[in-house]
Chain A
Amino acid sequence: MERATFERELEKILGLAYGYAVRLHGGDRDAAEDLLQEASVSAFRGRDNFMPGTNFKAWFFKILTNAFYRQGGKKELETVSLDADPEPYLYLQAKEAGISASDDPAEVLFNKIDVVEVKNALDNLPSEFREVSALYFTGEMSYEEISETLDIPVGTVRSRLHRARKLLQVALWDLAVSRGIVEAVSYA
């Protein structure tokens, strides 16, 4: 691949890749910048291995993920145990707290949570959930693309995403309670 073509393709996804790198590093922007730099050079050196017509974004994100592990990022074993059955956790909690089902969830809860605190909730996920959720929330990837990037089956992507979402919902609800957002809504 010509250098100009490579740079053009990379530039299209660099913003998403930086966001993914920040989330992988748990919010550390300097480390994310170093990681992105290393992955970009590595991809540039190996650009002839990219097969035209395939997914450049998934190819590059895989290189980025591998660079993260080379830098010492940990692959943690799954230790979080959650119910296998999906459940609308936040909705059920809200109902329990007396929030009307017909209320706009964004208005009564989500818009009152600070952006930084949502980022922290993502950054505090156990690493195996963080990877999948960062690719999903930050990298704007489909299950298939995440599967390709992490070399895991689509079914594993689905189950990890489910668990990540559940953990995020628990974290966001706890946050809302600790900030008094839920009480304020409940007794308004």
Chain B
Amino acid sequence: MHDMDCREVIKHMAQYLDRELSSEEQQEVQKHLGECGSCANAFRWENSMLVLVKNCAGEELPQGLTTRIFESFDCCE
């Protein structure tokens, strides 16, 4: 296990926030963030942007669509 520098940590930012790193890498990034205010702020901004887009990206299923779809299966049986 080696200490990551800021460049490496930023490179791993997206995967860290998506929990796509190995647990060892996840811990290394976390350790760096505990010691580096600048990287911690950059991660906060990135995470905040992801939360915003995830909250906005979805759509409400139109009323009755599920029923209409299920009814359309009648002709396929």
Contact = CB atoms under 8 A, between A and B. Distances in A.
B68 interface: yes
A153 B46 CA distance: 24
A70 interface: no
Interface stretch (A48-56, A73-81, A160-168): A160-168
A15 interface: yes
Interface of B: 10-11, 13-15, 18, 20, 37-38, 41-46, 48-62, 65-66, 68-70, 72-73, 76-77
A41 B18 contact: no
Interface of A: 3, 7, 10-11, 14-16, 18-19, 22-23, 29, 32-33, 36-37, 40-41, 44-45, 85-88, 90-92, 94, 101-102, 104-106, 110-111, 113, 115, 118-119, 121-122, 134, 137-138, 140, 142-143, 158, 161-162, 165, 168-169, 172
A76 to B, nearest CB: 20
A20 B76 CA distance: 25
A88 B10 contact: yes
A91 B44 CA distance: 9
B59 A105 contact: no
Nearest to B11: A86
A11 B52 contact: no
A118 B57 contact: yes
A85 B11 contact: yes
B61 A86 contact: no
Contact of B10 (A33, A45, A86, A137): A86
